[in-house]
Amino acid sequence: MRFTVDEKLAGIVARNTGGQPLVIALWHDELFSIAGYGCVNVQGLMGIVSSSKDGQFVASVMEGLGQTTVRGSSSRGGVRALLKAKRVMETENRMAVFAVDGPQGPRHEPKDGAIFLAHHARALIVPIRAFPSRMKVFDKAWDRFQLPYPFSRCRLVVGEPYAVTGAKLDAEVLDTERARLKNALDTLVPE
């Protein structure tokens, strides 16, 4: 694939290198493109990966490319994974990467994991989107997963990093933060 990457990404990675904890937030259907770029071109990533068989494949690929993974999801081992992710962020200065609507949807509806991790690790959330020029869309999959065709172009668009509230994460605050994250991702479009 041939990537065109938002200029902001280099500055954001530099912020993490300088000690700023970051949580990279993306939609599950765009995972292939973003992971394809990130695992090869960005050091210091930690994928939050489902405990499923599909997740095992993703974890193997990421780890084979020198990245770190933490296994767990909203449906299995989530709290344990978030605690481990926070420790890894603190001790290894890695950026957490979350498909925020995974592992089973609903599509483009964020769950709480990335928000909890950002809140407890005092990390900024960085929304990122992928826009391949040509792709196969799996229409029957819950997320309408996108698999870019070989040699296609892909634009990665990065949003402004932002901090979640410092308030207690009760149900009302979580509703507000999920809506904020959804808006941050949905409004990212190529120029």
Its pTM stands at 0.91
- Mean pLDDT within 55-79: 75
pLDDT at 61: 79
pLDDT tens for 161-182 read 999 999 999 999 999 999 999 9
With residue 182 as reference, give the H or E element that holds it: helix 171-186
User: Domain residue spans in the chain?
Assistant: 2-186
pLDDT tens for 81-121 read 888 999 999 999 999 998 999 888 899 999 999 999 999 99
Mean pLDDT, the chain, integer: 91
Which SS3 state, helix, strand or coil, does residue 95 take? strand
Sign of the Cα torsion 181, 183, 185, 186 reads: positive
DSSP state of 77: B
**pLDDT higher than threshold 80 for residue 141:** yes
pLDDT at 71: 81
pLDDT tens for 5-22 read 999 999 999 999 999 999
The 10 Å Cβ neighbour count of residue 178 is 17
**pLDDT higher than threshold 90 for residue 187:** yes
**pLDDT higher than threshold 70 for residue 152:** yes
CA torsion, ordered 79, 21, 159, 15, to nearest 10 deg: -170
Give the Cα separation of 25 and 158 in Å (integer).
10
Highest mean pLDDT among 36-45, 61-70, 137-146: 137-146
